[in-house]
A = this chain, B = another copy of it.
Amino acid sequence: MNFNCCKTKKSKQDLKRTVGFLKVIAEENRLKILCILRKQEMCVCEIWQHLGLPQNLASHHLKVLKDLGLVEHRKESTKVLYSVNQKVINKYSSLLSGFIINI
């Protein structure tokens, strides 16, 4: 029997990276942020107002998302505009599929 998912070095690493991704998106506010950023680029003040979060909390969650590369940002005067990095999301998403979807 070959338990590929937790024996080889590569599969162990993939599992850890997948869990890292899941922990980041397994939070209501962060999943909401990803969801609204899919529609359009947004500055932080739009995000926290839209979600009804305190500014610093929104900022914190954005940092968590950014640290994993799920979102990116650009500055425009005093505002910071965030957007999703769909490529990275797709990469993690297919990594996840490998663990939970049957071939």
Contact = CB atoms under 8 A, between A and B. Distances in A.
Contacts of A38: 5, 102
A26 B19 contact: yes
Interface residues of A, number: 34
B22 A6 contact: no
Contacts of A26: 19, 22-23, 25-26
A32 B51 contact: no
Interface stretch (A55-63, A72-80, A85-93): A85-93
Main secondary structure of the interface of A (DSSP, over half): helix
Contacts of A39: 1-3
Contact of A100 (B3, B19, B23, B34): B34
A19 B3 CA distance: 28
Contacts of A25: 22, 26, 100
Interface of A: 1-3, 5-6, 15-16, 18-19, 22-23, 25-28, 31-32, 34-36, 38-40, 50-51, 86, 89-90, 93, 97, 99-102
